[in-house]
Amino acid sequence: APALDVESIRAQFPILERQVHGKPLVYFDTAASAQRPRAVIDAVSRFYETQNANIHRGVHLLSQEATDAYESARTRVAKFINAPSRDELVFTRGTTESINLVAQAFLRPRLQPGDEIVVSEMEHHSNIVPWQMLCEQVGATLKVIPFNDAGELDLDAMDELLGPRVKLLAVVHVSNALGTVNPVAEICARAKAKGIPVLLDGAQAVPHQAVDVQALGCDFYCFSAHKMYGPTGVGALWAPMATLKAMAPYQGGGEMILKVSFDGTEYAAPPNKFEAGTPNIAGAVGFGAAVDWLDGLGMDRVAAYEAALLAAGTERLQSVPGLNIVGTARAKAGVISFTLDGVHPHDIGTIIDHYGVAIRTGHHCAMPAIARFGLPATARASLAVYNTVAEFDVLVEALHGVREMFG
Ligand code: PMP
């Protein structure tokens, strides 16, 4: 297949036309939130302009069309991760809510005092805090898989941690702080051999590579639309139907019931059982448009383009004196975290903003991962299909400017 035409991709992102402090925008903060192509923006406005109504309730035409649009988005998002059934795809507010849903609706009723949950040292806070809260609620213990100086998980240590009291393993597929692509199929196989269910945080994986939940062999897969060119406030949880059926409800309310009386309530079948209340309908419609857009590019071509860009960007950044890359795993995607000798990352970010360059600085909601390197913060350039090697040249020029300012 021919390579991606980045200029035609860039032309589809209206925001890339704007200037920042009088300079063309160089957006290297996709890991925080991606920009949206015209196709997604239009799908959302078209929904509001022509079909807007509540779903699953009305007999009127708009309500039927809105329901069809919402449910069609579910079908396409489910297919995008090769879920065996569209009914296994639960719409949530995002990765964070998907993880909290699993913590409270799946694990909490199955957890006894003294049981264990295993996560890794490189998790986003959204894959740490819900488990800490649950451990506190139940009297369970959180165990942590360490990683090495390159940012690669220690799988031998993981094997040792996966003892008889472990009720769930929760691991990030691609680290937002270090860029590490974890060997999640291998991790799932090792856990499965011990009968331990695995949750994967796919927030940074789904935008950058083809994800097949069946091939991975996981039990739960969580992701967010806004990291993959879709709207904020919507995301998904995938789990096999048998698991979803065996789970307690999450929140109670409308849309998640079959029958309510004061003698008792009968819940709807999954996925509706986990979608109480009016959902983010337009968000789901935009989510569907985002996966259609990515499908149109082809995830294998997206991955190939971004791998080349990551390699070129890494090489260019390494040419800056005093720059240290944090996270040097053999398998990386989407993210280059770095520090610059003698300059606080926040100063880097503030100064290069005046060159039009947007990066993230701080702990990236993964404080333990950054602390592992003895650091309070890093600067992070994260990339997308709309970035170019020329933009890395602008970043490098801006970093030279930072070095000059700091003598
Ligand atoms: N996990 C990872 C790896 C992430 O990068 C993020 C977002 N920064 C999240 C989870 C949380 O996603 P959200 O804020 O969309 O719920």
Read off the pLDDT of residues 152-165 as tens digits, 9 standing for 90 and up: 999 999 999 999 99
ipTM: 0.99
Share of residues in the chain with pLDDT > 70 (%): 100
Confidence (pLDDT) at 407 = 78
Read off the pLDDT of residues 367-388 as tens digits, 9 standing for 90 and up: 999 999 999 999 999 999 999 9
**Spatial separation of the C-alpha atoms in residues 377 and 127, rounded to whole Å:** 19
Nearest CA to ligand 1 atom 6: 203
Residue 235 CA, closest ligand 1 atom number: 15
Confidence (pLDDT) at 12 = 98
**Spatial separation of the C-alpha atoms in residues 30 and 351, rounded to whole Å:** 19
User: Measured from the CB, is residue 116 less than 6 Å from ligand 1?
Assistant: no
- Cβ neighbour number for residue 373 with a 10 Å cutoff: 17
Share of residues in the chain with pLDDT > 90 (%): 98
User: Measured from the CB, is residue 203 less than 6 Å from ligand 1?
Assistant: yes
- Cβ neighbour number for residue 400 with a 10 Å cutoff: 13
H-type alpha helices, 155-257: 155-161, 184-192, 213-216, 241-246
Q: 284 CB contacts (<8 Å, ≥6 apart)?
A: 69, 70, 73, 74, 91, 234
Share of the chain residues as helix, strand and coil, in percent rounded to the nearest 5:
45, 20, 40
Per the listing, tokens 């819900």 go with 130
Q: Is 304 exposed, middle or buried (0-12, 13-18, 19+ CB in 10 A)?
A: middle
Length of the chain, please? 407
Round the CA-based radius of gyration of the chain to a whole number and report it. 22
**Spatial separation of the C-alpha atoms in residues 346 and 402, rounded to whole Å:** 11
User: Measured from the CB, is residue 337 less than 6 Å from ligand 1?
Assistant: no
Confidence (pLDDT) at 1 = 65
β-strand pairing of 323-326 with 335-340: antiparallel
Smallest CA-to-CA distance from 385 within 301, 322, 313 is with 301
Read off the pLDDT of residues 233-259 as tens digits, 9 standing for 90 and up: 999 999 999 999 999 999 999 989 999
**Spatial separation of the C-alpha atoms in residues 120 and 155, rounded to whole Å:** 10
CA 311 remoteness from chain centre: 22
- Could you give the 3-state DSSP secondary structure of residue 266? strand
Q: Which helix (H) or strand (E) segment is 234 a member of?
A: none
Is residue 188 part of the annotated active site? The answer reads no
- Cβ neighbour number for residue 349 with a 10 Å cutoff: 20
Torsion of CA 395, 304, 5, 291, to 10 degrees: -100
Residue 95 CA, closest ligand 1 atom number: 16
**Spatial separation of the C-alpha atoms in residues 27 and 15, rounded to whole Å:** 10
Is the pLDDT at 71 greater than 70, yes or no? yes
Read off the pLDDT of residues 310-355 as tens digits, 9 standing for 90 and up: 999 999 999 999 999 999 999 999 999 999 999 999 999 999 999 9
Q: What is the overall mean pLDDT for the chain?
A: 97
Confidence (pLDDT) at 56 = 86
Give the phi and the psi of residue 123 in degrees, each rounded to 5. Answer: -75, 150
Nearest CA to ligand 1 atom 12: 95
Is the pLDDT at 57 greater than 90, yes or no? no
For the question of whether the overall pTM of this predicted structure is more than 0.90, the answer is yes
Residue 32 CA, closest ligand 1 atom number: 8
Residue burial 23-40, b: 16+ Cβ < 10 Å; e: rest: eebbbbbbbbebbbbeeb
What average pLDDT does the segment 121-134 reach? 98
**Spatial separation of the C-alpha atoms in residues 315 and 309, rounded to whole Å:** 10
**Residue whose CB lies within 8 A of the most ligand 1 atoms, among 98, 173, 176, for a mutation test:** 176
Q: In whole angstroms, how far apart are CA 134 and each of 18, 99, 129, 137, 142?
A: 44, 11, 8, 5, 9
Confidence (pLDDT) at 2 = 76
User: Measured from the CB, is residue 128 less than 6 Å from ligand 1?
Assistant: no
